[in-house]
Every structure is written in C-alpha cells, then in structure tokens.
Structure 1
C-alpha cells in the first residue's frame, strides 16, 4: 500500500500510500526532510522535519501523496525556515495564506502525483534553487564529518553553521548527523546485518550506544522497529 519513486526535482522522492479498511497508525522516523503532502481527507499539508518519531494516523481508505524533499531543499520551496516547521504538521494555507492556496487544492487533487513535483519545481526555480551549502553540509553530516570540520569546509564558524543548519534542516549539524546515522544503521539492520556489526560499521561505541540513539529518536529500540 506504500510506494515511492524519484520525483525528478532536486533529489526529492514522490511517495503514495492508502490506508487499509481498518485504518493504520504509522511510526514516521526523523530524516531531516520536509514533505509537501496531499491527503484525500485533509487536503494540502506540510510536514516539517521531526526530532522524534511522529505517529501518523490514517483513516480507512485515506489516500496520501507526498513529495519528500531532501535535507535543505524544503525551505527554498516553501519560503519558510525549517526550524519554524520542526515537529509540526500544518495546512499549506497556514504558510502561504488562503488566497495563495485558493483553487490550488482542487488542481492538486486532480493529479497529485504530477502536481506536487510541478509545484515544487516552480517554487524552487523562483527561489533560485536550493541553498548552495545545504547539500554539502548534509553530505558531510551523513559521512560523519565532525562539526568543526564541516564548518571549515563551508567557510563558516561553528555558530554560524549551527544557525544556518537550523534554517535549512530544522536542527543543528550534530543532530542531523545523528539522525542520518540512525537511518543508515536501520537500513543495514533491515538488510540482515547483525546489530553489533551495524554499530561498528556506523561508528557507534557499541550496540548499547546504537540502541540508545535509536530509542532517543524513534521512541522504541531497534529490535522493535525491525520486528514491525
């Protein structure tokens, strides 16, 4: 009932999901991304970057289409700093105003899988593209580069990097790095790598450290996520 594919705009992913007849609750893990969403029940929404897992409750038969924009891209599309959206789900009209969104909902509802990427592409073009440093900072954070080294690489002092990262990602580079490391660790574990080996490969002190980090962000230990 869940599918995703490249959206063809700024590295974004287009995903679709339909809740089963009995409804569904989904644990959405932090990923540093901002999503532009259309729901058959709620219309146009924005999901900000999460610091902890969000429990999404879908009513029976509810259809979702989402454009998941990679870390740093969402603010350029939406015109809103990521830290103002952190841990929130808000109607798009709350950001752009009722007049700007008037009529947009009907056009998106006719073909959301085509309309959301097209809308994002137009907005991104008007903004001059994503922030130039966003992809560099996110890539360095994903690679485990220390914050001081990232700051030196992008020619910012650590405090300026932190402020810039909050606007782009919703949190500082250290938190982003921890979230991206958790995502990598879980992907390896789901592929069958034992947790102790996952911890070593991903740079955790030990398996207990991995478990604490996952619990901090996901609310449950990795074994619970893997079982689900």
Structure 2
C-alpha cells in the first residue's frame, strides 16, 4: 500500500491509500479513503469522465443523495454527470473505484441508466455486491482490498457485454484529444452515420458524444485551474473559443466560477488519490477505426 498525505486543509481530512502496483486493468483506478476526524463530512460530487463506485467499508455510515431527494446508505454507483449529488457521514472508510464508461458498461451494465443518478451497488450486482463488500471488510490491509476489487472487476468485465468497438474508439479519441473532436469526422472514420454513432454512443456511454467531449474538456480545464494556471491560459490550451466559453462550461458542470473551482475541496485530493486518469478506454478501442 502507498499512503499519501497533503498539506491542503481539505486533503488533510483523509488518509488516502493507493495500489503499490501499476494499474492492471485498463480504464480502472482505485483509492482507499479513511476519514481522520469524527466530525461530519459533507462533500459535493462533481461530474467526472468516469463512473464512480464507492464501496462503503464503515457499516452504512456513508450516505449519498441527490437533488431528487433520493438517498442511499452504503455502497453506491454514481454516473458521469451527477446533479446535486453529495456524500455525507462520520468515520467514513470506503474504497472508491473509477471506471472508464467503456469498462463500466461491461462491469455494471448500461451507463445510460446511471446518468445523473445515485444507484445502490446492490441494485446492479445483486447478492454479489454483499459478498464483495464482506470480503473487502474482512481484508487485513488496503493492498488485499485492492487485489480483491481488481479480481472482482476483471471477472465481471470478462463476463459482461463490451461496448461496440466503434464506440470505444470514439471515446478514446475524445480523451486523447481533450474533448476537441468533431463527431462527424469520427463517425466517418468508424464507418457509421452521425445518427447511428449518436444513438449507440448515448446508449452505451451514458451521454451523447457532444456532451461527453465537453465533460472531458471540463475535467482537463478544472485540474489546470487547480494547478494555478490562469483562466485565460487554460481556455487557450484546452481549445475553448474564449475565456467566457470556459466560464460558461465550468458554471454548467460545477455550478461555480473558474476562480472558485480552482480552490474546490473535491480537487484537493485528486493528485494524491488519482495519479493518472482512470477514464482511458479498454482494449476494445484498439482497431475500430483503422480498417475503415
């Protein structure tokens, strides 16, 4: 286990553990969190280009709810674009897994059902979810927990239904180009009409291609803002039309200004817990566009 600490006040709330080995599954990232304080924790969940699974290891002390009034206690799955989702609790200990939507489709089922919602893990995995949580809670170290989770995810990915190679190819190009892609060009590259790509991508990834590209670009932008880059510089680097365009996108996704998002608590732990993005596609993206 590699544990890490940060001097930032928000990051200092948590003890964070990460796997000591390189990621063995493409499109999967994992980190363990244990609250250092018994004070209540209340954190907003902001859109990220990965599906998030939070496995509660503290016996139901983690509660996650959204603006619809739905609240889930225990292990949950959060879609790509959560709306008003907040996590609350005391003495929280959890394993957080970030899944590329390409991987999430096989591991969890159709991501379109998760858009903006919080879903109990039990609803998606049934009795397997309870067994999975029991094994994680009984583990004697974070390294053992990471190994258990990795093996379980690998089994479910192998048994699950993969996304279309064309969809995986388009997602990977969105990520590698920081969201700066033209859907029509990618559709032509994989040999599909724009309408077919739009429909298949939406049903399997959970967002339409345009919104998915905006989300990837937003994620890149806010991390550069948090690193101290000016809004003008970030807008130019990421491909926004101008600084006002960046401002509108940050407002739309995070509900705050670029200046406020640069100090957001949810970004304080990212460099510690997630050394590399977890949303790169899996192997099914390899050759979808090359033979066309």
| TM-score, normalization by structure 1 | 0.88
SS for the counterpart of 1:73 is helix
Over 3 Å counting, the alpha-carbon distance change for 1:3 and 1:165 in structure 2 is farther
Q: What is the Cα-based RMSD across aligned positions, in Å?
A: 2.2
Unaligned 5+ segments in structure 2 are 1-13, 61-72, 140-144, 265-292
Matching of residue 209 in structure 1 with residue 245 in structure 2: yes
Superposition deviation, residue 218 in structure 1:
0.7
2:94 match: secondary structure: strand
Q: Would the alpha carbon gap of residues 196 and 28 (structure 1) be closer, same or farther in structure 2, given more than 3 Å must change?
A: same
Shift of 1:222: 1.5
Instruction: Please name the residue that 1:89 is paired with.
Output: 118
Q: Secondary structure at the match of 1:227?
A: coil
Give the 3-state SS of the residue equivalent to 2:165 in structure 1: coil
The structure whose RCO (Cα within 8 Å, separation 6+) is larger is: 2
SS at match of 2:221: helix
Counterpart position of 1:76: 106
Shift of 1:126: 1.9
Task: Name which of structure 1's ranges 10-19 and 104-113 shifts more when overlaid on structure 2.
Answer: 104-113
Task: Name the CA shift for 1:173/1:4 in 2 (closer, same or farther; >3 Å).
Answer: farther
Q: Is residue 200 from structure 1 mapped to residue 233 from structure 2 by the alignment? A: no
Match of 1:110 in 2: 138
Conserved 8 A contact 1:7-1:117: no
Q: How far apart, CA to CA, are the structure 1 residues paired with 2:214 and 2:17?
A: 26
The match for 2:142 is none
Distance in 2 between the 1:109 and 1:130 partners?
32
Pairing partner for 2:258 from 215, 222, 227: 222
Bigger mean CA deviation after superposition, 37-46 or 138-147: 37-46
